[in-house]
Amino acid sequence: MTSNSIVQADDQDDLSASIPLWVKQGKVIPLESLMQMHGDRLQGRLIDLEVEQDEGRIIYELEIMRENSVVYEIKIDAENGEWLEEEVEH
C-alpha cells in the first residue's frame, strides 16, 4: 500500500487519537498489521482514515484510491482484523 499522507477527519466521532494507546494496550491491531493481513485487498493510495465505534466494535474506516482512480470505502474491525465491508465511495 502506498501513501504519502494520511488525512484524518475532524469528525467528532473519529477516535483516531485513541489508536496509539489502544495499540499499546493490545486492544486493537495496528494498521500496519492489517495491511499485512489484507495486503492484496488494500492496494492503492490511502486518502482517508477514521476510527469509529459501531455497536461496541472499534472500526477502521479507510478510503483507498485504487489504480482505476476509483475510491473505495473499506471497514475493518480494529480488534480482530475482520474485513467488514467494501463499497465504492460516491
CATH number of the domain encompassing residue 21:
3.10.450.40
Residue 78 backbone zone (phi > 0: left; psi -120 to 50: alpha; other: beta)? alpha
pLDDT at 7: 41
Determine, yes or no, domain membership for 38: yes
Q: Is 6 among the domain residues?
A: no
Structural domain includes residue 3 = no
21 located within any domain: yes
Q: How far is CA 21 from CA 7, 17, 83, in A?
A: 19, 8, 22
Count each helix (H run) and each strand (E run) in the chain, helices first: 2, 4
- Tens of pLDDT, residues 75-87: 999 999 999 999 9
Greatest distance between any 2 Cα atoms in the chain:
38
Residue 10 domain-assigned? no
In a domain, 33, yes or no: yes
Please write the tens of the pLDDT for every residue from 28-45.
999 899 989 998 899 999
Average pLDDT over residues 52-66: 93
3-state secondary structure of 24: helix
- The residue segments making up the domain with residue 51 are 16-88
Residue 64's pLDDT band (boundaries 50, 70, 90)? very high
Flag whether 74 is in a domain. Answer: yes
Which triple of cell numbers denotes residue 40?
Answer: 492484496
> Is residue 51 a contact partner of residue 78, using CB atoms and an 8 Å limit?
yes
Give the model's pLDDT for residue 15. Answer: 84
Domain total of the chain? 1
Q: Is residue 50 part of a domain?
A: yes
